[in-house]
Homo-oligomer: A and B are copies of this chain.
Amino acid sequence: MSLIVQKYGGTSVGNPERIRNCARRILETQRAGHKVVAVVSAMSGVTDSLIKLAREVSPGGEPAEREMDVLLATGEQTTIALTAMAIQDLGGKAVSLTGAQAGISTDRVHTKARIRNITPDAVHRMLDEGNIVMLAGFQGATDSGEITTLGRGGSDLTAIAMAGAIKADLCQIFTDVDGVYTCDPRVVKAAAKIPEISYDEMLEMASSGSKVMQSRSVEFAKKFGVRFEVRSSLNNNPGTLVKEETPGMESVVVRGVSLERNQAKVTIDDVPDRPGISAVIFGAIAQANVVVDMIVQNVAFDGETDISFTIAAADLPKAETALRAILPALGEKVTLRTESGIAKLSVVGIGMRSHSGVAATMFRALADANANILMISTSEIKTAVIVREEEIEKAARAVHTAFGLDAAA
């Protein structure tokens, strides 16, 4: 008998019929001889409706985060009760637990609380009594009993953290995709599902636009060594197993190719090359709450240098405003150039550490495909380039083929 944690997102429990489908799948898992804890999100649309109500009662400003948590936590509480009822109606034995009831203890940072520890006594007791435990995702409680929520992707985090706490044999994250693919199948038809991927590769894929899961949940899984599988709630195909790195994994140089669209590039030309300049520039950007991705600084020439970086295109106006305010202080000749309509292409793989020539292969493929490289950035297990948005798809296909990722058709 295995102990399995499953997680179903808002779409999977979006209406009574889907809740019954989920209930059926959860019950099948138990009837196959396993103990099951199933984490569910709020029914799709519910959280948005609650946020709308919150805005309507507080037109004067942002509602207090403590009260947002009390409000939003009702979404998952509704789903656990309904799913438990559905399981019972199908002849199973189930019991629901809120985050607080399941012993999920968090810090006091409302709307984006961090899990501090989990005391899964109630979960164990209910499992031992033969129950399926329906656990509310996305929520916990402080030591003094205040309701907290875990922020975006919080239900994945609940599943992974609970799987770690109860030493589950497997944690299954059910989504509307089949698993993690070597590239977005809408772009690269030959993309194949990746059977196994390391935490680090998953993290790099996630931060490069393959938004199957939030990085935070993957980081948590890595930290506590929780293996999990990303798979589809619509079929029974095996998904992608995300796990610790094993020696055999390095034999694959590139695990996958990620695309990130809607990027923008900011270039500051003729910046005096003296200490502290970068701190001033990126301090101003951070102050404006803009997240910077790639940064490239050219070598200084005549005591002046160029600094380029990329941000999400949506953040461009904020970034420009922030930079125009500080530019005059940087030097007389300093100028600002911006470019949107660009995209990022990344190849990710822990095999890069021990294989040379990854960049060369990538650049050759891009050149052959006539895709112009605007910026380059590398890390230990990732090589990323910026190309023009209209060239990203052909670039992705070329690179995917060059690294031998195309599925045998």
Residues of chain A having any CB pair with chain B under 8 Å: 16, 19-20, 23, 50, 53-54, 56-61, 63-64, 66-68, 70-71, 73-74, 77-78, 80-86, 88-90, 95-96, 98, 100-101, 122, 145, 147
Contact = CB atoms under 8 A, between A and B. Distances in A.
A81 B68 contact: yes
Contact of A89 (B59, B81, B88): B59
A145 to B, nearest CB: 6
A78 B88 contact: no
B89 A67 contact: no
A394 to B, nearest CB: 48
A53 B13 CA distance: 12
- CB-based closest 10 A-B pairs: A16-B56, A71-B81, A58-B89, A74-B74, A70-B81, A63-B85, A57-B86, A60-B89, A67-B81, A58-B85
B101 A54 contact: no
Contact of A57 (B71, B82, B98): B82
A56 to B, nearest CB: 4
Contacts of A89: 57-61, 63
A66 B82 contact: no
Nearest to A19: B57
Contacts of A61: 89
Given A53-B16, A57-B16, A101-B145, A88 B70 contact: no
Contacts of A20: 57
A38 to B, nearest CB: 14
Q: Give how many copies assemble into the complex.
A: 2
A60 B89 CA distance: 6
26 contacts: A16-B56, A19-B57, A23-B57, A50-B78, A53-B82, A54-B82, A54-B85, A57-B83, A57-B85, A57-B86, A58-B85, A58-B86, A58-B88, A58-B89, A60-B90, A61-B89, A66-B96, A67-B84, A67-B95, A68-B81, A70-B81, A70-B84, A70-B98, A71-B78, A74-B77, A77-B77
A96 B59 CA distance: 19
A100 B71 CA distance: 15
A183 to B, nearest CB: 38
Nearest to A66: B95
Contacts of A63: 85, 88-89
Contacts of A58: 85-86, 88-89
Given A16-B53, A60-B89, A82-B54, A96 B77 contact: no
Contacts of A68: 81, 85
Nearest to A59: B89
A61 B86 CA distance: 10
A232 to B, nearest CB: 22
Contact of A67 (B73, B74, B96): B96
A23 B85 CA distance: 35
Task: Give the interface centre of A82, A84, A85, A89 by most chain B CB atoms within 10 Å.
Answer: A85
Contacts of A71: 77-78, 81-82, 85
Contact of A78 (B74, B96, B100): B74
